């Protein structure tokens, strides 16, 4: 953990990440090398790490996939994808590709065609890695990235272990990065953890959530625990409620088969949304040691009040988008998407109200919402403070005092804002809401970031702080399992129930209106 503490301290003092040194040499193996995740996020993140001089000269990237390709064909496909992304926005943003940096990375790429269910694939991979150890200076360190369908997670790990590729000897490390979804319910998450932990140690497993690579997410702990101004306010005495929103302006695109099995709740809540919740609500850790931080995050999720019976239906909302207009373009309904059942009951929107049963948060509701084809691409944590008393303003033109909010913007405009009331100029007392706004891009020099750069670097240096531990994963599924059970035994709402390009179903507004509250606008 010393590496992370040093880097954070240096950033505070200079505004630059000067103390981060190149990661140790290693061979990084991507299973699913021909897939969308590899092309769109993982390889661009590695390119950004090259630009930041965070990869050692002994780094090598090995792609493994069923697709029949040569190393040159794989390399060219990635080159074309990178070039096509220039100037088109999205997760990877660049005005141009630095050819020197890209050539550095491309020259360190190789590809193996193979079936994940075939032990021969892993034997050939082992031979290839052994040769790289001799010729490329990888140091015998291996990072295996599972950018594959979740049904292959256990199989791939078991084959890696059987091929003797996970054994750590003489200071050489072996680590596995596992993408979500980590299970589809509580039982499957427990089974997957048990299967993987038969052959790996917990410290070898990096369950990745790219939301935690966002600078604002990482800054939540700094905001809370490094500032005497905020921490005394962070409790039930001062906070009325918290809203966590992750809205998207994309539909399911070409992921219909995956989404039909998954839905918004499984896709977003036990991982992304609960990680944001945990960072917001956790108690101060004793240090920034990975286990200390992850232990406090797990405590928060374990403290979520269990849903019981009809409450699971009353305090949760599911929606599915209809045809509509998103960012000025007409889009089709979910049921008309490729590989989607025309009568599908899969939710593309989810919202819920939950409470955390501990001393700090007793009685404070947390509202979560996430959806596809919403009005705006926006992820934020909004903390609403208690209303001030009206007595002082009796007899003035003030009909209702303005609420105080602290807004932590995760994406796309990373920053923190504090909203409060101020008197307008003039002879009478009239209030307006004003905002003090901190934007990362105006205060710090922001390097291009897909959300994966910090996480990949941390995998290579062995810092597990931003990754989920087995107990954290299982606690998340434990919290949502009653909702899944209640849905399975209750009639599905009349889908579709919200127009694409809107704010979600009316039931989501009613969820807050019952207690006199309202969602923050997505306009």
Catalytic residues: 272
- Sign of the torsion formed by the C-alpha atoms of 193, 180, 409 and 414: positive
The rounded distance, in Å, linking the Cα atoms of 175 and 28 is 10
Q: What are the CA-CA distances from residue 485 to residues 312, 478, 480, 482, 489 (Å)?
A: 9, 11, 9, 5, 7
For 59-82, what is the HEC assignment? Answer: CEEEEEECCCCCHHHHHHHHHHHH
- Contact assessment for residue 322 and residue 498, using Cβ atoms and an 8 Å cutoff: yes
- Contact assessment for residue 248 and residue 373, using Cβ atoms and an 8 Å cutoff: yes
Tokens standing for residue 373: 């084809």
As beta bridge partners, residue 454 has: none
- Contact assessment for residue 31 and residue 146, using Cβ atoms and an 8 Å cutoff: yes
As beta bridge partners, residue 113 has: 65
> Residue 235, by phi and psi: left (phi above 0), alpha (psi -120 to 50) or beta?
beta
* Strand 109-113 to 142-146 pairing: unpaired
The rounded distance, in Å, linking the Cα atoms of 133 and 141 is 9
* Strand 239-247 to 378-385 pairing: antiparallel
- Contact assessment for residue 122 and residue 162, using Cβ atoms and an 8 Å cutoff: yes
The rounded distance, in Å, linking the Cα atoms of 312 and 349 is 16
Compute CA 230 distance to the chain's CA centroid, rounded to the nearest angstrom. Answer: 25
The rounded distance, in Å, linking the Cα atoms of 215 and 14 is 16
Query: C-alpha angle with apex 272: 279 to 151, nearest 5 degrees?
Result: 135
For 214-243, what is the HEC assignment? Answer: CHHHHHHHHHHHCCCCCHHHCCCCCEEEEE
- Name the packing angle between helices 274-281 and 470-488 (round to 10°): 120
**Which position has the token pair 């950004």?**
48
- Sign of the torsion formed by the C-alpha atoms of 458, 464, 470 and 473: negative
């Amino acid at each position: 953990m010393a590496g992370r503490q040093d880097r954070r301290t240096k950033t505070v003092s200079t505004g630059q990440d000067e103390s981060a040194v190149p990661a140790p040499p290693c061979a990084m193996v991507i299973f699913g090398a021909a897939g969308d995740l590899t092309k769109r996020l993982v390889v661009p993140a590695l390119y950004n790490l090259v630009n930041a001089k965070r990869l050692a000269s002994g780094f090598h990237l090995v792609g493994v996939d069923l697709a029949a390709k040569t190393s040159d064909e794989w390399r060219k496909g990635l080159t074309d994808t990178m070039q096509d992304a220039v100037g088109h926005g999205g997760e990877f943003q660049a005005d141009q590709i630095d050819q020197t940096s890209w050539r550095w990375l491309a020259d360190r790429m190789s590809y193996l065609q193979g079936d994940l269910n075939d032990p021969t694939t892993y034997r050939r991979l082992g031979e290839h890695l052994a040769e790289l150890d001799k010729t490329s200076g990888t140091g015998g360190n291996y990072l295996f990235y599972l950018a594959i369908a979740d049904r292959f997670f256990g199989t791939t790990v078991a084959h890696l272990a059987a091929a003797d590729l996970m054994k750590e000897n003489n200071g050489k490390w072996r680590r596995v990065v596992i993408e979500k979804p980590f299970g589809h319910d509580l039982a499957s998450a427990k089974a997957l953890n048990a299967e993987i932990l038969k052959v790996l140690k917990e410290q070898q497993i990096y369950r990745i959530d790219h939301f935690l690579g966002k600078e604002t997410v990482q800054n939540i702990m700094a905001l809370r625990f490094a500032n005497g101004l905020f921490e005394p306010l962070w409790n039930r005495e001062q906070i009325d409620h918290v809203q966590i929103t992750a809205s998207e302006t994309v539909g399911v695109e070409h992921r219909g088969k995956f989404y039909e099995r998954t839905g918004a709740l499984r896709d977003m809540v036990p991982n992304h949304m609960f990680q944001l919740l945990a960072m917001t609500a956790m108690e101060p850790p004793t240090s920034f040691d990975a286990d200390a931080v992850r232990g406090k995050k797990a405590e928060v999720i374990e403290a979520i009040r269990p849903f019981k019976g009809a409450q699971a239906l009353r305090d949760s909302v599911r929606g599915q988008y209809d045809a509509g207009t998103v960012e000025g373009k007409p889009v089709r309904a979910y049921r008309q998407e490729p590989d989607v059942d025309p009568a599908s009951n899969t939710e593309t929107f989810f919202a819920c109200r939950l409470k955390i049963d501990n001393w700090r948060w007793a009685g404070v509701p947390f509202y979560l919402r996430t959806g596809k084809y919403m009005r705006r691409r926006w992820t934020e944590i909004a903390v609403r403070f208690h209303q001030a008393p009206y007595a002082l303003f009796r007899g003035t033109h003030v009909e209702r005092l303005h609420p105080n909010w602290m807004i932590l913007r995760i994406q796309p405009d990373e920053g923190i804002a504090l909203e409060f009331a101020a008197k307008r100029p003039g002879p009478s007392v009239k209030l307006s809401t004003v905002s003090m706004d901190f934007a990362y891009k105006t205060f710090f020099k922001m390097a291009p970031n897909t959300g994966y750069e910090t996480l990949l670097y941390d995998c290579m240096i062995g810092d597990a702080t931003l990754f989920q531990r087995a107990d954290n994963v299982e606690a998340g599924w434990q919290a949502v399992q009653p909702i899944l059970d209640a849905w399975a035994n209750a009639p599905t709402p009349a889908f579709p129930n919200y127009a694409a390009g809107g704010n979600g179903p009316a039931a989501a507004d009613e969820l807050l209106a019952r207690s006199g509250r309202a969602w923050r606008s997505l306009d």
